[in-house]
Amino acid sequence: MEINKKLLLILPLLLLSCSSENPVDPINLTGYSSESLVHDSLQRQYLMYLPNSYQENTSYPLVINFHGFGEQINEYASYADMRSLADSENFILVYPQGENLNGSPHWNAALMGGNNKSDIDDLGFIESLILKLSSQNLINSDRVYMVGYSNGGMMSYAMACHKSNLVAAIASVSGTMLYISNCEPNRSIPLLNIHGTEDPTLPYNGNNYYNSVDDALNFWNTNNNSDPSPNTTLLNTNLNNIQFFGFSNSSNISVDHYKIINGGHVWFDININGKNTSELVWDFFSKYDINGQIDTSQ
């Protein structure tokens, strides 16, 4: 099954575009700076937002938010906007830009030499980005978080698999974990997964091209040595009925899943106890650093 998915991966990614199912508001880039770095002889672009409380010589948590296949960061940042949250919670926000593949920006969410969408080293680019921000004394390297939508969710998984020394926690919104057999994190990784049961692009139950949501949850629960009996809750929200599954291990490292009943392929407009998707993601991230659960009693 894994070999077939690798061989058949490229075609469906060339055909899908992740952006069309999300409404795009007029782009307002207030507060962002447009930045770049050179990695592997390519000049790579990213948007960066510093919280309004920013002070020099102070290191902040970092949230990297990956766009979907076919998207530009200006478009993606307009509907997956986390600026007000960065201000209220005091973290630095970065939206990196994937490179074009025949006019379609993308993320190579696998090791080089496999069946990626191009030969561009995206894992190395994100590592270089983190090291750059760390060298500028902007970020707390123990608190680097990654979230992505669709192909961007794939990239979050890939960073946890192959660059786990850099990642405190990850989240995937309507994404999938491409490769399971060669995923080798060096420790337990907190994961938040949000996915719709009627996703036509990355099906909830998987297909010949993509792993299912359960495949991903099972891998990380095994990796983390989670308790096999989850905390489950049925939530009634503004969007759909949502089933919540929360797994945890003896160190309180969680694998949390919001199963959006009848949900499609979108960055969801959730309202759970007054919290939207971005707020749910940050609430999850804020509990962890690279060493595990943050001790808030001190």
Query: What is the average pLDDT value for the chain, to the nearest integer?
Result: 89
pLDDT tens digits, 7-34: 334 334 433 445 445 544 445 678 999 9
Residues 140/62, Cβ–Cβ less than 8 Å: yes
pLDDT given at position 289: 98
CA 8, distance to chain mean position in Å, is 23
In this structure, of 18-22, 36-40, 77-81, the range with the lowest mean pLDDT score is: 18-22
For the segment 157-188, what is each residue's pLDDT rounded down to a tens digit? 999 999 999 999 999 999 999 989 899 999 99
- For residue range 261-298, list pLDDT tens digits in order: 999 999 999 889 889 999 999 999 999 999 999 987 65
pTM listed for this prediction:
0.91
Strands (E), the chain: 32-39, 42-49, 60-66, 92-96, 99-101, 104-106, 139-149, 169-173, 191-196, 231-236, 241-248, 254-260, 288-289, 292-293
Do 253 and 285 meet the contact criterion of CB atoms below 8 Å apart? no
Q: What is the pLDDT of residue 114?
A: 65
Query: Has residue 73 got a pLDDT over 70?
Result: yes
Mean pLDDT of the 99-126 span: 86
- Look at residue 8 in the predicted model and tell me its pLDDT: 36
pLDDT the model gives residue 237: 66
Percentage of the chain exceeding pLDDT 70: 88
Give percent above pLDDT 90 in the chain. 78
